[in-house]
Every structure is written in C-alpha cells, then in structure tokens.
Amino acid sequence: MKFAPGETSKIVSILIQDDSYLEGPETFSVRLSNAVGGFIGAPPEATVTITDNDLANGPNVNDTSPAFVRAHYLDFLSREPNQAGFDFWVNQITSCGSDQTCIQVKRINVSAAFFLSIEFQQTGYFVERIYKTAFGDAIGVSASGGYHQLKVPLLRFNDFISDTPQIADGWIVGQTGWETLMEEKQRAFTLDFVQRPRFLNSYATTMTPAQFVDRLFTNAGVTPSNTDRNAAIAEFGSATNTSDVSARARALRDVAENSILQQQELSRALVLMQYFGYLRRNPDDPPEFYHSGYEFWLNKLNSFNGDFQKAEIVKAFISSTEYRQRFGP
C-alpha cells in the first residue's frame, strides 16, 4: 500500500464471496507495518468482522446465475461487477429458461469469457507475462506416469492476488478514459516491479542494455526480430548501463507484450488461471501437492489446439467438488 505525500488514510476494499454455509461471525486483522518515508499512527491494527447472513445451510448459491457471475468478477477481475456488465452476463444464462443443457453451455461460455476478456488480458495475464519475462519458468514436479520435472509458470497465487488489483483498480473497459487509466496502472506497476529486491538482485545495473534485453527475451522464451530487440534496447537511449529505472520498466513491458510471447503463453496461463480463479490456490497446493493436474490439463488443452470447449477444461473446473464447495454444500 502506498500513501501519497500528505495522505493520512486509505480506504481498503475487501471482496467477500457469498456462500450458503451457516458459519457465524468471522474475523480477521489488518495491520500496518514497515513504514518507509513516514510513520504509522495508533492503533496500527484493526479487527474486521464479517457478519454471517445465513440462518442455516442452504442450497449451493453458485447454482444461481447472479452469484455465479459475481464470483467471476471477484475471482478474475478483482472487482465488484458494474451493473451493465453484470446484467449482460446474467442474461446470457437466464435466457436459457429451464433448459439445463443450454444453461450448462452458457455457464461454460460466460466463465471462459472472463479469462478471454480485454480486462483480464490486460491485468491478470499481463502480470503473468511480467513474471515470465523477468524470471523465466519455475520447475515443478508431476507424479503422472512416474515422477518427473516440468517447466511451469513462476507466478504464484499470493503474488497474483496482490499484484493484479494494482492494475485493475479504477477502470472498466468501455467507460470513458479506460485506455488511459489502464496504461497509467500498467506503467506504474511495471515501474514498481523493477524496483523490487528480487528484480534488482537478478539484474545488476551494470548490465548493458543489450545484455538486459537479451536476458528478458531468453526468460520469455522468445527469439525476437531485430526490430523488436532493437526497440527494447533503444529504451535506454545512448546509455551504456541499465541504471535508468524508467527505461528498465519500459524494456520489460516491451518484451512482456511481445506478440509471440502472448501467443506462446496463452494456454499455460489459461490452465494456471483455472487454479487461481476457480480454486484460489496454486496447482501444487493441497490436495494435489504436485503439478500432475496442471500437466494433465495443459496436455489436453494443447491436444485440442487451445480449444477450451473441446478440452472441457472450464466445464471440469466449474463443476468440480472443490470449486462448488467454496459456495455451499
């Protein structure tokens, strides 16, 4: 959290998913610490109470179209729905009437539309590509067909839910000035990203612009055209090192937005976001422990050339017991 000069308070929005469990009041604490360039007044910690709105366990709320759609806004776009968008997506499902086959197809299509939306592509998928470009892949372990290692996306769930709202905050596609606000948020996020200790430890400022850019493209898994490579290097102007923080951020964005990377990484990101969006966890978190499920779904998606409908990946996740138990019995 960042405070502007002279700013003494912040409003923090907590997105709460509805469910149909009788749970009683639930509490969590919010603490401010490690202030840089300022001080924290008293009290530094507050307790937040969530008041239960259920009188008894009831039918799974996710089976209702409004709850299903709202969950997607919170899980994928990190915000409450705007009325026009909410009404549109709910109507896509309710237009089926009582036709259960139609409803199932519409729920799958609506769900997939959130991942494919401009808003998610420019927030969650943007963050995933920034991590990929900056640090390359992580090494996971799969137990499918015998234990073996495989390359997996480096981005973890806690980073995703922390970083994505920084870009998503304050704009909605189609509203006046959204492109400008989106650009400002992406620029600010990337500038912050290249000043984080992990990035600074990985990229010494003594690197030449060519060395810096070449490592980014290597991590991204892209062999750039001369035009793309030279454009990223040119962000540093005539400098012989990479100490210019703003130029570092611009070069990182240049590579992360490379069209080849966006195409290559799409299926991997789609599978990853099934875990982040629907299950709210990493692919190797309990109950799985390994990347076996991730590998299975990536292989299946690739076997259908990225067609999520034929691969039935969205259908499987939104009908899974783990997903449904987030919302009710």
Contact, 68 vs 62, CB < 8 A? Answer: yes
Taking the C-alpha atoms of residue 276 and residue 274, their distance in angstroms, rounded to an integer, is 6
Confidence category of residue 316, pLDDT binned at 50, 70, 90: very high
Work out the average pLDDT over 61-88. Answer: 96
Contact, 250 vs 238, CB < 8 A? Answer: no
Whether 2 has a pLDDT exceeding 80, the answer reads no
pLDDT of residue 292: 97
pLDDT tens column, 265-281: 999 999 999 999 999 99
Whether 250 has a pLDDT exceeding 70, the answer reads yes
pLDDT of residue 228: 98
CB atoms within 10 A of CB 326: 17
Taking the C-alpha atoms of residue 2 and residue 230, their distance in angstroms, rounded to an integer, is 34
**CB proximity list for 50: less than 8 A, separation 6 or greater:** 16, 25, 26, 27, 28
Range in 28-37, 98-107, 207-216, 242-251 with the lowest mean pLDDT? 28-37
Q: pTM for the complete prediction? A: 0.91
Confidence category of residue 58, pLDDT binned at 50, 70, 90: confident
Whether 37 has a pLDDT exceeding 80, the answer reads no
Work out the average pLDDT over 232-248. Answer: 98
Taking the C-alpha atoms of residue 258 and residue 263, their distance in angstroms, rounded to an integer, is 9
Whether 19 has a pLDDT exceeding 90, the answer reads no
Confidence category of residue 60, pLDDT binned at 50, 70, 90: very high
**3-class SS of residue 283:** coil
pLDDT tens column, 291-300: 999 999 999 9
Range in 14-28, 66-80, 146-160 with the lowest mean pLDDT? 14-28
